[in-house]
Amino acid sequence: MAFPAIALAFLPLLLTLLIRYRFYFALFYRAVLVRLWKDCVTGLSREERAYQYVLTHATPGDPDSILDTFDEWCSKVEYISNIGPKKGKILDRLLMEQSPLTVLELGTHCGYSTVRMARALPLGARIYSVEMDQRNAAIAEKIIRLAGFDDDTVELIVNPSDEVIPRLRSDFGLERLDLVFMDHWKKCYCADLQMLEGSGLLGKGSIILADNVLFPGAPKFLRHIRKSGLYDWKVHRATLEYSKGIRDGMAELVYQGIK
């Protein structure tokens, strides 16, 4: 008799937690449980399923169609943490204002943000996109080529970021990075930024845009930019891509160098 009474006593607390954290529970369901179930049922990875949807629903050679179809899949079918259309507008604005010629992307994943950037670059610009997972890189390359971008516009580099950054000058002939977009492992943000600072590839006015600095969060990265004195910076408040009620943000940094 004691167990039902104890369970009943905890019911208000359980309901409070469910209501308070309902958006996080919904995210866990969409991003983890649905993914595991469909992995088992289909025998395909989530990224492969996304590519199949884009391939059968989007217009080849049309980047806008590719992105819209990807957004539809992520919103209505399964969850993937692309930058998404809302935060993507911040990236679009920077590309329009800065017209960068040399872009480094850390974290290609499925190629969504790569396509989003490539469609807005000026003639002669190039993206160097770094992805450590070979299976994801293979999917990303298909998405990028389906959108109509070749090796002259997007060079996909399949290696961990901490191995690629020190070789950007020697192996790829880079002298300066105009824009860096970070959307890979959040725990790598700080170390990779410091590595870029030491590489000499950041010049006055170079832009760094880092996604998901509030959720899942990159606290060491934020502490570093506050203390370093190397940047003018701000955090754009937003909600997590393809989700409701989960607050997130993108950090926009303008490199000033040592003052």
Cite the active site residues.
183, 186, 211-212, 241
Q: Distance (Å, rounded) from C-alpha 211 to C-alpha 86?
A: 12
- For residue 235, CA distances in Å to 10, 209, 211 come to 39, 10, 10
Q: Distance (Å, rounded) from C-alpha 184 to C-alpha 33?
A: 22
How are beta strands 154-158 and 102-106 bridged, if at all?
Answer: unpaired
Alpha helices in the chain (DSSP H): 2-20, 22-28, 34-42, 46-57, 63-76, 84-98, 112-118, 134-146, 161-164, 168-172, 189-199, 219-228
Q: Distance (Å, rounded) from C-alpha 243 to C-alpha 30?
A: 10
Q: Distance (Å, rounded) from C-alpha 5 to C-alpha 27?
A: 32
Contact 139, 116 (CB under 8 A): no
> Tokens in use for 176?
């300066």
How are beta strands 247-255 and 202-210 bridged, if at all?
Answer: antiparallel
Q: Distance (Å, rounded) from C-alpha 180 to C-alpha 16?
A: 41
